[in-house]
Amino acid sequence: MLFNSYAFIFLFLPVVLAGYFWLGRRSNLAPVIWLALASLVFYSVSNWQFVALLLASIAFNYLIGYLLIAAKLAPAVRLAALTVGVTGDLVVLGIFKYAGFFAANLNALFATHFVVNILLPVGISFYTFTQIAFLVDAYRGNVARYALPHYALFVTYFPHLIAGPILHHKDMIPQFEREEAKHPQAHLILCGLIIFAIGLFKKTCLADGIQPLVSQAFGPNTPTFDQAWIGALAYTFQLYFDFSGYSDMAIGMSLMFGIFLPLNFNSPYKATSIVDFWRRWHMTLSQFLRDYLYIPLGGNRHGSLLRYTNLMITMLLGGLWHGAAWTFVVWGALHGVYLCVNHAWSNFGPKVAPRFEKAVNLAAFILTFFCVVVAWVFFRAESMASALSVLSKMADPSNIAFGRAEMAYAVFIAIYVAIAWFAPNTQEIMGYDHKNRKVGENFEGARLRPLYLYAAAAVLAFGILGIQQHSEFIYFRF
Amino acid sequence: MSIAAKNIIRLLVASAAIVAAAALLTFIVDPLQLFRPARLFAAMYSPDTRMQNAGLIRGQPFDTVFMGTSLAVHFRQSDIDRALGVRSLKLAMTGSNSQEQSFVLETAMERRPKRVIWQMDDWIFRNAGEIDANIYLPANLYRRNAAGLSEYLLSGAMARESLWLALRSITPLTPLVAKLTNGVVFKFPIAEVDDINALRRDTDIGSAYNKAKALAAFRSMIEPGARQSLSAGYDLAAMIAGLQRDAVGLIAGNPDVQFDIYFPPYSILQFVALRDASPAALQIGYDFTAFAFERLLQFPNVRLYDFRVAKEVTHDLGNYADVLHHSPAVDLKILSWIADGKYRVDPRAPLASLEQLKAQVAAYRVEP
């Protein structure tokens, strides 16, 4: 089921909300079970064949977690249990996500003819990572024992199940246990509704609105210089508004249930360095990769050379996490190189005189955006050949069309640039503070001005009017 | 009730009011003319035929339907009417497969046309997915069910087009809005049905269609890197299944309708490219033709034309923009051939034209 569908907005969400609060008057546990069951219904509507896999994954990880938390095992046995748990998760992920890729590469290398046709279970990358983090923390002794319904809800919670944010058990399960969350709080529902509306607008009006321009670079025709740039920039903004729109919708609807989800975006295209970019883009993935991959690899604790090696490994695997294709590996490698250069420049580059600081920051901002756009070409392209072809056109200003259509598209792109660079982001507008569990303090009581309220109503209305019949979120396929 | 609760209600009511206003605007202006012919506002049309056809079928008078792919999309209805003495409705869709064509024709059949002129080739019968999974064709709009009508009325894009059409109908604004309506931003830039996807009358035909372009397209097709794509979709079993489901089913279900089916005059280079770069695909094409011709000619309401052997056109490369797409002059020839029964396949010798085509393909030598 899609967040941007009439069935979800007008039927599923209101029914689940009503049931949640109705049960909340009677019990603290029943709403949790209700929400977990509703999440399974949400998942099964379009992925019924993978419900058993999801349930098996929950049971497996809960069992391993139980062994690590509650059973009094010897250290070696605990390590073995963790190894079995993490390996089991990665094997399942590997089979469903990477077997076809592996077979294709074997075939290319050794002229074999392995055929692997396995459908990718939607959300598997997200719920696998979520549970690996749980197992590692359980092994480290950082986890109290959780009841099965709360754990199951933590994994299946429908606002995040398909495409994140990647949740952390220590953040979520205590919220599921809180009794106050089960009673409707009009202020949270209002703020959640507005955040949901902003996300819906980003998805249906901004991301879907610019999507046709992407084919300027990635369509069947060979692009000119300007068309290649229009297409690459269009994808840059489509991806951002699509994924950040999804994240806003997830945060908004979760807030209606009284649950605060972590932020996933913080105006990434305003970044002034690649390090800054990764603090702003898909933030929960960055945090996961940092805490459960980069730091365990040694992080920056063993000298510069190992630090750069660890960065490259982290980003290569981060790229591969997005999809089983060499284009994603190259995208990850590019960002790995960017990060290494960024860190090397910070450590060894010249210090900037204060009077040049603004100019240097502006240059860094432009250079960062340029590097990100170039990397997105690999992220979007169907193949390496296609990516290199688009990039070669972007580097060839001798071939320019710039007709009436391209001029109109350029104006369109300029509007998106203005929004991404100069408009406040959702959390700035709404005063969303995940850490302190606060939102919309300026809107409380009578302080919500009618102008804001009706502007929010218009955003929600335009979001609904922008719904198209077939428009999945891009991150569903990861 | 708390202030926040009141604000929730205000927000939802205001949103509903905006959505309702947009739906009402679309209902009144009705850009696709789904509910009524355009009277209050001047009719405008979209080149997006997969969407536009849903309205054309409802709103246009016709006794003959003209269906096909990009090979048929540039025909003018006025030419069809003049050549064949009919009242035609062109529903050709660029890049369409047989399932889309059959679905649209099925909807058109509800208006009980007497005749269907159908540009058909082996390519349209490649394996296609479910019609409801087709993101380009709004199937529910054709069905006029609740989902389709709500998608139409609740579409912000359609409301924007409606507003634009309404503004265009305000006399002082007409010239300005007409100037801004260029098809890049707005979806309904065409004022006459006859002009939908037809080449502009001021198009430089000589530079759009010429021998150099046809040969350049041919050479890029047979480059080693492109050869694999030549055979894409050539699966005989799937193509035959497509023919049975989408063409045979429709023809058998409408015995009172005359089906004039023609295989278009591709340039000879199309077949020569397959001959030289993908002979297996060419053989599948031949096998499919043999099956399709025999099957289609079993129906008394089918007249079949094989223009692929029209050497006067197919061997004159100046008629083409690439190896497939012919000029408007050939459009007129096709209409006159249908009117005269030329290149019609004789039901007593259904494979004669195929043998002729094979001989032409085998004999043709591309000039260096």
User: Is B110 inside any structural domain?
Assistant: no
User: Is B105 inside any structural domain?
Assistant: no
Q: Residue B152 and residue B161: Cα distance in Å, rounded?
A: 12
Active site includes A183? no
Q: Quick check: A28 pLDDT over 80?
A: yes
Q: Is the domain of B83 the same as that of B224? A: no
User: Is B107 inside any structural domain?
Assistant: no
Lowest-confidence segment of A26-30, A163-167, B19-23 by average pLDDT: A163-167
Q: Does B22 touch chain A (CB under 8 A)?
A: yes
Q: Is the domain of B211 the same as that of B193? A: no
Q: Quick check: A446 pLDDT over 60?
A: no
Q: How confident is the model at residue A472 (pLDDT cuts 50, 70, 90)?
A: low
Q: What is the pLDDT of residues A108-135, one digit of tens each?
A: 888 777 777 778 788 888 899 889 999 9
Q: Which of B2, B3, B180 to mutate to test the interface with A (most CBs of A within 10 A)?
A: B3
Q: Does A470 touch chain B (CB under 8 A)?
A: yes
Q: What is the pLDDT of residue B172?
A: 85
Q: Does A382 touch chain B (CB under 8 A)?
A: no
Q: Is the domain of B166 the same as that of B223? A: no
Residues of B in contact with A195 (CB under 8 A): none
* Full residue range of the structural domain in which residue B235 is found: 206-368
B190 vs B20, residue with greater confidence: B20
- CA-based nearest distance B161→chain A, Å: 13
Q: What is the pLDDT of residue A469?
A: 64
The encoded tokens of residue B213 equal: 């372009």
Q: Span B347-362, mean pLDDT? A: 94
Q: Which of B6, B18, B143, B229 to mutate to test the interface with A (most CBs of A within 10 A)?
A: B18
Q: Residue B349 and residue B63: Cα distance in Å, rounded?
A: 31
Q: Is the domain of B308 the same as that of B272? A: yes
Q: Is the domain of B144 the same as that of B189? A: yes
Using only the alpha carbons of chain A, give its radius of gyration: 23
Q: What is the pLDDT of residues A404-421, one digit of tens each?
A: 888 989 999 999 999 999
Q: Is the domain of B212 the same as that of B192? A: no
CB atoms A446 and B3 under 8 Å: yes
Q: What is the pLDDT of residues A220-260, one digit of tens each?
A: 888 999 999 999 999 999 999 999 999 999 999 999 999 99
What b/e string do you get for B21-54 counting C-beta neighbours within 10 Å, with b at 16 or more? ebbebbbebbbbbbbeebeebebbbbbbbbbbbb
Q: Span A383-392, mean pLDDT? A: 92
Q: Quick check: B352 pLDDT over 90?
A: yes
Q: What does B56-84 look like in DSSP terms, one character per residue?
A: HHHH---SEEEE-STTTTT--HHHHHHHH
Q: Which of B135, B169, B198 is the last residue of a domain?
A: B198
**Chain B residue nearest residue A449, CA to CA:** B7
Active-site residue (options: A322, A335, A434, A470): A322
Q: Are strands B302-306 and B88-90 parallel, antiparallel or unpaired?
A: unpaired
Q: Quick check: A448 pLDDT over 70?
A: no
Q: Span A20-30, mean pLDDT? A: 94
ipTM comes to 0.85
Q: What is the pLDDT of residues B14-60, one digit of tens each?
A: 999 999 999 999 999 999 999 988 888 888 999 999 999 999 999 89
Q: How confident is the model at residue A323 (pLDDT cuts 50, 70, 90)?
A: confident
Q: Is the domain of B283 the same as that of B258? A: yes
CB atoms B14 and A462 under 8 Å: no
User: Is B317 inside any structural domain?
Assistant: yes
User: Is B361 inside any structural domain?
Assistant: yes
Q: Quick check: B229 pLDDT over 80?
A: no
Q: Quick check: B79 pLDDT over 90?
A: yes
Q: How many CB atoms lie within 10 A of CB A46?
A: 14
Q: Who's near B245: CB < 8 A, 6+ residues apart?
A: B98, B99, B102
Task: Supply the DSSP symbol for A418.
Answer: H
Q: Which of B159, B180, B198 is the last residue of a domain?
A: B198
Q: How confident is the model at residue B305 (pLDDT cuts 50, 70, 90)?
A: very high
User: What total of structural domains would you count in chain B?
Assistant: 2
Q: Which of B151, B171, B198 is the last residue of a domain?
A: B198
Lowest-confidence segment of A61-70, A370-379, B253-262 by average pLDDT: A61-70
Q: How many CB pairs below 8 A link A and B?
A: 79
Q: Quick check: A387 pLDDT over 60?
A: yes
Q: Span A31-59, mean pLDDT? A: 93
Q: What is the pLDDT of residue A430?
A: 93
Q: Quick check: B182 pLDDT over 80?
A: no
CB atoms A408 and B15 under 8 Å: no
Q: Quick check: A171 pLDDT over 80?
A: yes
The encoded tokens of residue B119 equal: 């540009």
User: Is B104 inside any structural domain?
Assistant: no
Q: Who's near B89: CB < 8 A, 6+ residues apart?
A: B56, B57, B60, B62, B64, B65, B66, B77, B108, B113
Whether the CB-CB separation of B87 and B63 falls below 8 Å is answered with yes
User: Is B230 inside any structural domain?
Assistant: yes
The model's pTM: 0.85
Q: How confident is the model at residue A149 (pLDDT cuts 50, 70, 90)?
A: very high
Q: Is the domain of B172 the same as that of B310? A: no
Q: Which of residues 175-214 of A touch B (CB under 8 A)?
A: 186-187, 189-190, 193-194, 197, 204-205
Residue A384: name the closest of A328, A338, A315, A334 by CA. A328
Using only the alpha carbons of chain B, give its radius of gyration: 23
Q: What is the pLDDT of residue B298?
A: 95
Q: Quick check: A198 pLDDT over 90?
A: yes
Q: Quick check: A29 pLDDT over 90?
A: yes
Q: How confident is the model at residue B167 (pLDDT cuts 50, 70, 90)?
A: confident
User: Is B116 inside any structural domain?
Assistant: no
Q: Is the domain of B140 the same as that of B262? A: no
Lowest-confidence segment of A273-282, A303-312, B124-133 by average pLDDT: B124-133
Q: Is the domain of B237 the same as that of B94? A: no
Q: Is the domain of B216 the same as that of B363? A: yes
Residues of A in contact with B157 (CB under 8 A): 466
Q: Is the domain of B213 the same as that of B187? A: no
Q: How confident is the model at residue A478 (pLDDT cuts 50, 70, 90)?
A: low
